[in-house]
Amino acid sequence: MQVISVTGGLLCLEKPLSQGCQVKLMFVTDAGPVLAAAEMLRPGLRGEQPFRFTTLSENNQCRLRTVIQSSMSRNYLTH
């Protein structure tokens, strides 16, 4: 995973998936695992492929927001 937000993110894949492909994602964060359904978007360069969340439960969204806010706070404090 290269980039993550509350609406989607960017994966680095060896072989891109078809645009519009529906997938299930699971990734582990400091706040716990996040499970979501997503739609793959148009592949980019060097195996990078964006996605958008299509289903993200309230609990998983809360975990994701917590991790993003924590990361932003750490970046702010180190710069």
We report the CATH number of the domain holding residue 10 as 2.40.10.220
pLDDT value of position 75: 61
pLDDT value of position 78: 53
How far is Cα 70 from Cα 77, in angstroms, rounded to an integer? 11
Residue 55 banded pLDDT, cuts 50, 70, 90: very high
- Give the residue numbers spanning the domain of 49: 3-78
User: How confident is the model over 11-54, as pLDDT tens digits?
Assistant: 999 999 999 999 999 999 888 999 999 999 999 888 899 999 99
Give the predicted TM-score (pTM) of the model: 0.84
Number of domains in the chain: 1
CB 10 within 8 A of CB 2: yes
